[in-house]
Chains A and B, each alone.
Chain A
């Protein structure tokens, strides 16, 4: 029988086709997201002789669509890493306290900026973004410190829960003491892509690229870990170091997405599951595909959020929660209903 590099022809080809289709779908979604506005495709037809339409498309819709895709891609990647790292299909990017950390950071920033008369809209935006990022990353490092390293998965998860609850409570406390920040906080916690501009896109693209490269390089660890920690160690993998780097990647990717778009629900959890239902692959391709899937998910949700009740907008986080959760449930029941898993 023919061995050699082509033994897995069918599986590999299928996985490659799915990934390529998802990428193509993402490009189409980007075009659609850029084209569709609160009045349908109107501005697209006026493009040639209406400088305002051009400006809307170039400076608002295009970066917003790309930003939604990138934030989703970061969350999808982070979700795939978290599920591999903790060997738990329920793991999501916010597991190590980053979501509550970001909320806390934003609450503190809002409370502080609210008192400064000099604060311009731009400065507020920058301040909130940095505060969310700093909060998310700091929360993960607090979790690591409390768990005393990355060696014990269970300790890490428990520390993440504790950090999440405590920081969440502190953020709520700030909201109670300063009720005027409540509205802005709520918008952040529901997630929104409406503030994403070109600089934010560039930043997220850079982070995405770096995170994708590093996680691809460390993917053998996640493959090995799926056979158990002892087996992974027996294969000569430096578990502690590689885990540390992957946790850092997880924090960076989540922090970058959360900082620009707030707490988008379910994308990080659902994207890897959807990919898993379509392809079987080692983590290198699995992480890339989950990432592209996350981008496609968030971008479709964002486009829907803008057009469902146009000219009004739904918070995109609400849509991702409803759509992502619904699809996941459907997937679960469809699988459970079958006599044999395929």
Chain B
């Protein structure tokens, strides 16, 4: 284990969750190390999004979740919101709010009730909007943006929280290749600052850029290991029914469809 990474950012024990009366998480024991980027991958319906929601306390669940060593069930909602930021997929977006107002919503957990935004809030919002290259549109309404532009604004909203742990569900949805690369840089910078990032990613090649990979299948954690490990690659190929192969390309790993 790497030095300084012995505290778990997220630790779940026997985490179970249901969707519409059907159990979709069957007791997950996951330990996400601090200051690292972990990608969650798996076939459709493996329970990846539900896992992220259960960890973020956004869906009813059984079992324990610890966030930076503290039991989440005993944390206050605002404290939880300051420590953990969540970016969902296919959530409705406030078309009438301006880009600036949306990003400022990320500062809600830091603001006293009825208080005006502080200088720190303004600074965090500007930094987040600049980081996702959305600063230029700050006065435009979300409804006037394309899908990819909107995604960058929602990412800025999640960044503006300034939380130590970030959960992102399909953050690359609608992003073009330059902005996918840009997103990688943002995540790398976050991890360098000591933050922990957990992302659900569909693109296995993108997921292979992460430090660690958690592989899920049918509501269970199949494998959890470093993204460069041979065992991780073997588990990835197995979980996708050997329809992909993983090969080195320069200093990266890429997943290719098996011809």
A→B interface (CB under 8 Å)? 3-5, 7-8, 10-11, 87, 217, 220, 223-224, 226-228, 230-231, 233-238, 276, 280-282, 286, 341
Segment of B14-22, B61-69, B137-145, B215-223 engaged in the interface with chain A: B137-145
Given contact pairs A223-B97, A230-B53, A236 touches B109 in the complex (Cβ within 8 A): yes
**15 A-B pairs, CB-CB below 8 angstroms?**
A3-B126, A10-B139, A87-B92, A220-B105, A220-B108, A226-B92, A227-B91, A231-B88, A233-B58, A235-B108, A236-B82, A237-B77, A238-B77, A280-B97, A281-B101
**Which residues of chain A have C-beta atoms less than 8 A from B77's C-beta?**
236-238
- Are B91 and A231 touching (Cβ within 8 A)? yes
Residue of A nearest to B88 (CB): A230
Whether A8 lies near B97 (C-beta < 8 A) is no
Closest CB in chain A relative to B41 CB, distance in Å: 21
Q: How far is the CA of A230 from the CA of B56 in the complex (A)?
A: 10
Q: Are A341 and B122 in contact (CB under 8 A)?
A: no
The 8 closest A-B pairs by CB, nearest first: A226-B94, A236-B81, A228-B91, A234-B86, A236-B78, A236-B77, A236-B109, A3-B126
Name the A residues within 8 Å of B86 (CB-CB): 230-231, 234
Q: When the two chains form the complex, which single residue of B57, B119, B141 contacts A280, counting CB atoms closer than 8 Å? A: B141
* B94: contacting residue among A7, A223, A236, A237, CB under 8 A: A223
A3 touches B96 (CB 8 A): no
Task: Give Cα A135–Cα B94 distance, bound, in whole angstroms.
Answer: 34
Please pick, from B102, B126, B143, the residue contacting A227 in the complex, using a CB distance under 8 A.
B102
Q: Which residue of B lies closest to A5 (CB)?
A: B122
Chain B nearest Cβ from A36, distance in angstroms? 36
Shortest CB–CB separation between residue A313 and chain B, in angstroms? 37
Residues on B with beta carbons closer than 8 Å to the beta carbon of A87: 92
Q: In the bound complex, do residue A3 and residue B123 qualify as a contact, i.e. CB atoms below 8 Å apart?
A: yes
Q: Give the shortest distance, in Å, between B65 (CB) and chain A (any CB).
A: 14
| 9 further interface pairs, Cβ-Cβ under 8 Å (given A4-B119, A8-B139, A226-B96) | A3-B122, A10-B139, A227-B154, A228-B93, A231-B86, A236-B76, A236-B77, A282-B101, A341-B144
Report chain A residues within 8 Å CB of B57: 233
Contact B108 A236 (CB under 8 A): yes
Who on chain A is nearest to B107 by CB?
A235
Q: How far is the CB of A236 from chain B (nearest CB, A)?
A: 3
Residue of A nearest to B78 (CB): A236
A4 to B121, CA, bound (A): 9
**B60, chain A: closest CB distance, angstroms:** 11
Q: How far is the CB of B139 from the nearest CB of chain A, in Å?
A: 5
Name B residues whose Cβ lies closer than 8 Å to a Cβ of A: 53, 56-58, 76-82, 84-86, 88, 91-98, 100-102, 105-106, 108-109, 113-114, 117, 119, 122-123, 126, 138-139, 141, 143-144, 154, 157, 161
Q: How far is the CA of A280 from the CA of B139 in the complex (A)?
A: 9
Docked CA distance A224–B78 (Å): 14
Q: Are A341 and B92 in contact (CB under 8 A)?
A: no
Q: Report the minimal beta-carbon distance from B114 to chain A, rounded to whole angstroms.
A: 6
User: Cα distance A231–B169 when bound, in Å?
Assistant: 12
A7 touches B92 (CB 8 A): no
Assess A4 versus B122: contact at CB under 8 Å? Given A227-B91, A235-B81: yes
Q: How far is the CB of B5 from chain A (nearest CB, A)?
A: 25
Residues of A within 8 A of B80 (CB): 236
Residue numbers in A under 8 Å from B91 (CB-CB): 227-228, 230-231
Are A224 and B139 in contact (CB-based, < 8 A)? Answer: no
Find out whether the CB atom of B101 lies under 8 angstroms from the CB atom of A223: yes
> B108 contacts which chain A residues (CB < 8 A)?
220, 224, 235-237
Do B122 and A223 touch (CB < 8 A)? no
Q: Taking A234-B81, A236-B109, A341-B143 as contacts, is the C-beta distance between A280 and B98 under 8 angstroms?
A: yes
A223 to B104, CA, bound (A): 10
> Which of A10, A217, A228 has most B Cβ within 10 Å?
A228
Instruction: Check A234/B58 contact, CB under 8 A, given A227-B91, A228-B92.
Output: yes
Docked pose: A273 CA to B255 CA in angstroms: 49
- Quote the shortest CB–CB distance from B46 to chain A (angstroms): 19
CA distance A4 to B108 in the complex (A): 17
CA distance A282 to B117 in the complex (A): 13
Q: How far is the CB of B74 from chain A (nearest CB, A)?
A: 15
Which residues of chain A have C-beta atoms less than 8 A from B100's C-beta? 7-8
Q: A227-B102, A228-B88, A236-B77 are in contact. Are A280 and B58 (CB under 8 A)?
A: no
B141 touches A235 (CB 8 A): no
Which chain B residues lie closer than 8 Å to A341 at the CB level?
143-144
Q: Report the minimum CB–CB distance from A53 to chain B (whole Å).
A: 47
Q: Are B93 and A230 in contact (CB under 8 A)?
A: no
Smallest beta-carbon distance B48→chain A, Å: 15
Residues A282 and B97 in contact, CB atoms below 8 Å apart: yes
